Structure 1
């Protein structure tokens, strides 16, 4: 697909439909649920799945349809953890038999998995920037402090 990614209808509504284009009233709205964790994930990936699946569900942004994307993110996370452990055990730079210095192959694998994680994080709303685009009626944790305007001097100092 060329050009920018389309903005979901719920997000367009939350932003006030800045482009003033007709809204897709027939956009699918899957029921939010926690997908089952795939058995093939490595242990660190399963731990990450357990850590974030509940948060995504509580925010109302995950469904069974998102299982593959969440699994891919978690597996990339698991591989990243594994390669970071290997990087602790081996030097970052290695000397080849010919005497040249080159980066460890573990560094390239780690960097690639960070790239993959970043892509899936933006798709799933797992980064601060991507969350700023998501509108939800769900709230987790204590209510944020609301500025009433009464203690303006204290607020701005």
Structure 2
């Protein structure tokens, strides 16, 4: 049995003018706002250098030079691997940087949102990866049945990409990044005051 849609956070209800007029949760947890570092698993997924730990030290130094890493020739192997990881950035970390900057400006990014944002970035990157495959190889491939009949079959990247995009759109809704959802928000041009109390005060003034 479906539980229905997830409850809307209080700050988003206030930005929408609390159209339901239901009492808001005064004890809702309020994590500190601001930017956070991406979780380690997202960084590991995003490093566009396959199996760097298995490379020989000379190969690592050559790769480090191509990444313009300073003092690579003097680094120990462990430091060299870490420097390569830190200097590598793929779609996931690019999405992380761009989206987090937007969310911080919107005033909705908190220290508790890192995992949700990482999942959003991972799904967006997965969708892009699937699109690259489909653009290069086409939506279908030829499959030969046991009877020897050739027939076009949809590539698995179609379904994988669509599922990732669906997940990403749901997560974007939760952050207020859906354009249709954002039109319902009533955001002031300047935010001199911060936090739920300031939003509640603006809602009270509008009601008065």
Name the TM-score class by shorter chain.
Answer: 0.7 to 0.9
State whether residues 11 and 133 of structure 1, in contact with CA within 8 Å, keep that contact through their aligned partners in structure 2. Answer: no
Structure 1 stretch displaced more, 4-13 or 83-92: 4-13
**CA deviation map 1:79-106 (0-9, x unaligned):** 1111111112212122212122211112
SS of equivalent residue, structure 1 residue 102:
strand
- Distance in 2, matches of 1:131 and 1:72, equals 21
More helix per residue: 2
Kindly tell me: are residues 96 and 75 of structure 1, through their superposed partners in 2, closer, same or farther at Cα, counting changes over 3 Å?
same
Contact 1:93 1:103 in 2 (8 A): yes
Gaps of 5+ in 2: 47-89, 192-208
Q: Secondary structure at the match of 1:65?
A: coil
Shift of the alpha carbon at 1:136? 3.9
Q: Secondary structure at the match of 2:29?
A: coil
Report the TM-score, using the length of structure 1 for normalisation: 0.77
Residue number among 161, 170, 178 corresponding to 1:127 in the alignment: 178
Kindly indicate whether the alpha-carbon contact (under 8 Å) linking 2:144 and 2:151 is maintained by their aligned counterparts in 1. Answer: yes
Q: Distance in 1 between matches of 2:183 and 2:135?
A: 35
Correspondence 1:105 to 2:106: no
Query: 1:11 offset after TM fit, Å?
Result: 3.6
SS in 1 for 2:172: helix
Q: Which aligned pairs between 1:54-93 and structure 2 lie closer than 5 A?
A: 54-93=101-140
What is the deviation of 1:4?
Answer: 3.4
TM-score (norm 2): 0.60
Aligned with 1:30: secondary structure?
coil
> Does the CA contact (< 8 Å) of 1:10 and 1:135 recur in 2?
no
> Residue 94 of structure 1 corresponds to which residue in structure 2?
141
Deviation, 1:137, is 4.1
Q: Does 1:117 align with 2:118?
A: no
Offset at residue 71 of structure 1 (A)? 0.3
CA distance in 2, matches of 1:101, 1:83: 18
Could you tell me how far apart the structure 2 residues matched to 1:51 and 1:110 are?
A: 21
1:52 aligns with 2:99: yes
Give 1:138 deviation, angstroms. Answer: 5.7
Which structure's CA Rg is the greater one? Answer: 2
Give the structure 2 partner of residue 2 of structure 1: 3
Structure 1, unaligned runs of 5 or more? 141-157
How many residues are paired up?
A: 140
Preserved contact between residue 86 and residue 106 of structure 1 (Cα < 8 Å):
yes
